[in-house]
Amino acid sequence: MDQVDSSGWDFADDVVEQHAAAWHRSSIAVEPASARFNAGRVLAAAQREVFEEAGLKLDAATLRPWANWVTPQDQPKRFDTYFYLACPVSGAEPRHQTTEASSSLWMPVRGILDAEVAGTLKLMPPTLALLDELLALGTVEAILGEDRDIVPVRPKPGALEEFFRQRRQAPSVAPELP
């Protein structure tokens, strides 16, 4: 999140309330008095990041809270990361405009996972686990119809090394993180 995400929101109060409720188990809600503000900041950051990196302006009401992952304590760089799903409006054309990657492209979930297995894409465990989850749900309708209770994923120290070890042994399916 950046400082700009703290104010100037252009989304409705009920959207912020829905997001605060969705993230009720996460660090967003540790202090109940600031849960609504924290949910708004994360939502504003999600909108801003998608626009900065892909040139897409997403309506906040279409961003659906999906998952929260927290980096294990044994990692040198730690994150408390919030994942959203969204269906851009028909005809929306994302474009590569980020400085955070040398290239970007849109692919079907199966294509992303196949490219990871082939070694042409490198993905982190949360991305692999979430893509496997989406693939298992099968359709956009099933994904959007999924009733989510977002429980933060907090892998234990050492879990990432074990995850990658298992992945090398059986690369067709992402192993579970302890």
Task: Go through 32-53 and write b for each residue having 16 or more CB atoms within 10 A of its CB, e for each that does not.
Answer: eeebbbbbbbbbbbbbebbeeb
Looking at residue 159, what is its pLDDT? 78
The pLDDT of residue 174 is above 80 = no
3-state secondary structure 13-70: HHHHHHHHHHCCCCHHHCCHHHHHHHHHHHHHHHHHHHHHHHCCCCCHHHCEEEEEEE
| pLDDT tens for each residue of 56-107 | 899 999 999 999 999 888 888 888 999 999 987 777 788 777 777 777 778 8
Percentage of the chain beyond pLDDT 70 is 93
Band (24; pLDDT cuts 50, 70, 90): very high
Kindly state the tokens that stand for 4. Answer: 């700009």
Query: What's the rounded Cα separation, in Å, for the pair 168 and 13?
Result: 46
Considering the chain, what is the average pLDDT of its residues? 86
Tell me the pTM. 0.85
Q: Are 75 and 163 in contact (CB under 8 A)?
A: no
Looking at residue 93, what is its pLDDT? 80
The pLDDT of residue 178 is above 60 = no
